[in-house]
Homo-oligomer: A and B are copies of this chain.
Amino acid sequence: MGAEIVALAGGVGAARFLSGLAEVVEPERLTIIGNTGDDMEWNGFSISPDLDTVAYTLAGLADENRGWGLRNETYHCLDGMSRYGMESWFKLGDHDLATHCFRTELLRQGVLLSEVTRRICAALGVRPRLLPATDDRLRTRVDTSEGLLDFQDYFVRRACQPEVRGIVLEGTDTARPAPGVLEAIHSAAAVIVCPSNPLISIGPILAVPGIRDALRECSGGRPVAAISPIVGGRALKGPADRMMRGLGLRPAAAAAAELYRDFVNVFVLDCVDAPEKPEVEALRMKVIITNTVMKDQAARVSLARAVISQLGGGLGL
C-alpha cells in the first residue's frame, strides 16, 4: 500500500470524483474529510447529507441520475409524515431513513458522529475512511434576501432561489477536528480538495480550528491540489456560482482558486478555463488542465488519474 491521500469533500461533486479516485488508488489509502455544515435535525432525525452522499456513492448505492439519495427509493414514510402535517420538503426515502434512524439513535446514546459514520460505512461496504470534519455541532446558515436561513432550508426547501448576501458558519469557535482528521493531514502524501462548493462545502471544513493550519503546513512540502468547482463560469452542480456572485466574487475558476491560495499549490482547471491559467499561476499554484466534467464513471476515473499522475512519484502509483 502506498502513502495516504486525504480528500476534502462536500456532496455530489465530491462523491463523483471520489468514486473515480477509488478506482485509481487503493481505496484503503484514502481518507475523506467530509462536510457537516449541511447537517440538520428534521422531523426528529439527525441527517448528514454530505457524509451520506459520499458513503452511498462509494458503496455504489447512490441514485446517480438524481444526484442524491439511494437508487430504487420509495417515499412511503414521507407520505405518511406529510399526512400528519409534518414537514415533507426534504425528500427522505424509506431506505435512506434507516441511515438516519441509525445515526439518530447512536448520537442520542452519546456515540460520536465520527464513530457513527465509521459504522455506517462498514455496514455499506465503503472502503475509504470517511471522517466528518468535526464531531461538534457546526451549522452553515445562509444570509439571504429572505432572511438568515438554515442551509437545507435555503438549498432544498427554497431551491437556492433567495439571493445570497453572506454565509454564517455557526459553531466554528468551539468545533474541534474529529479524531484522525489532523493526523491524516499531517501524514498525508497529498491532499485533494474535491470539486465542491468552496463556500458551503469546503468552507465549513476549513473553518474548523486547526484544519486550515494543518493544510497550510502540508502544502509547504507536499502537493495540496484542488479541482475547480467552477467550469466555464458556472457550477456544474449546486449554487456555487450564484453564491459567489452574491458575495461579490466572480464566478470564475481563478476566483475559486483564490479562496484556497494559502494552502493549495496545485489547481486543476477544466479545458474550457485554460485562459485562466496565468491568473491561477499568479497565485503560486501549479496548474493542471484537463476535462473535469464527470459525465460518467469513465470520466471520473480519467479525471482522478489525471490529477494523481501530476501529484508526483511520492504517491507510489
Binding site for B on A (CB under 8 A): 43-45, 74, 76-81, 83-86, 93-99, 101-102, 104-105, 108, 119-120, 123-124
Contact = CB atoms under 8 A, between A and B. Distances in A.
A81 B94 contact: no
Nearest to A98: B80
Contacts of A99: 80, 84
Nearest to A107: B44
Q: Which of A86, A101, A105, A123 has the most CB of B within 10 A?
A: A101
A84 B98 contact: yes
Contacts of A77: 77, 94-95, 97-98, 101
Given A76-B74, A77-B94, A79-B95, A120 B44 contact: no
A120 B47 CA distance: 25
Identical copies of this chain, number: 2
A86 B97 CA distance: 13
A69 to B, nearest CB: 12
Given A44-B108, A94-B94, A108-B44, A101 B76 contact: no
Listed from nearest, the 5 A-B pairs whose CB atoms lie closest are A80-B98, A76-B94, A44-B105, A84-B102, A94-B94
A74 B97 CA distance: 13
Given A80-B95, A85-B119, A86-B102, 6 more contacts: A76-B94, A77-B101, A79-B98, A80-B99, A81-B102, A84-B119
Contacts of A104: 44
**A78, A80, A119 — which one has the most chain B CB atoms within 10 A of its CB?**
A80
A125 to B, nearest CB: 10
A13 B93 CA distance: 33
A288 to B, nearest CB: 39
